[in-house]
Amino acid sequence: MNFIETDLPGVILVEPDVHRDDRGFFLETYHARRYAAGPIPATFVQDNHSRSEARTLRGLHTQVEPGQGKLVRAIEGTIFDVAVDVRRGSPAFGDWIGVELSAENFRQLWIPPGFAHGFCVTSASAQVEYKCTEFYDPADEIGIRWNDPAIAIDWPIDEPLLSGKDAAAPLLGELTRLPSYLPPEPKAGA
């Protein structure tokens, strides 16, 4: 199993070990001890599953307090999955990364609390499952406009299918309530 640090500190790309043979494949989609050592020491409390048609874009969403970490994977089709650092005071505030997750590559993306999340479907349809570290709370959720020019995400689709809520989301600069950045604690002995 590989845990790959991305250009966005704290966001981890996971490449699980996939065992294939003539019958198909087998993999562990989550193993608490391995992920904690990997380093994703999260306790998950909710699993979500969505199905979306081609060109659907969901996001950008986050929860403020408590923040909600997500471990995302595509189980059918292909998505372009995005994380944006929206922690006020973070050196990476407004930075984003995007990765392809698919049923074929088995990759997962760990998006820690304090980051906004969104994805778009680049195949005919896609099913996405993700584990969450906190329960969904609509009163705590904030949305950020998918095409905010200050973030400038290079989405691989034009004219996405959006929910009314996502289409009307504010720009990042218009939000007054955002997660706060907490600098990492120094390592022992440092």
Whole-model pTM? 0.93
Query: Among 74-78, 91-95, 179-183, where is mean pLDDT lowest?
Result: 179-183
pLDDT value of position 72: 98
117, 130, 136, 181: the active-site residue:
130
Q: Cα–Cα distance between 85 and 116 in angstroms, integer? A: 6
CA–centroid distance for 13 within its chain: 10
Residue type, 113: P
19, 30, 35, 61: the active-site residue:
61
Rounded to 5 degrees, what are φ and ψ at 53? -85, 165
pLDDT tens per residue, range 76-93: 999 999 999 999 999 999
Instruction: Using the predicted structure, report yes or no on whether residue 164 has a pLDDT greater than 70.
Output: yes
Catalytic: 61?
A: yes
Instruction: Using the predicted structure, report yes or no on whether residue 189 has a pLDDT greater than 70.
Output: no
pLDDT tens per residue, range 54-73: 999 999 999 998 899 999 99
User: CA of 68: how far to CAs of 62, 98, 173, in Å?
Assistant: 7, 19, 21
Domains (range + CATH), the chain? 44-174 (2.60.120.10)
pLDDT value of position 11: 97
pLDDT tens per residue, range 149-163: 999 999 999 999 999
DSSP codes of every residue in 131-157? EESS---TTTEEE--TT-TTT----S-
Q: What is the mean pLDDT of residues 100-126?
A: 98
pLDDT value of position 154: 98
Q: What is the mean pLDDT of residues 11-39?
A: 92
Catalytic: 130?
A: yes
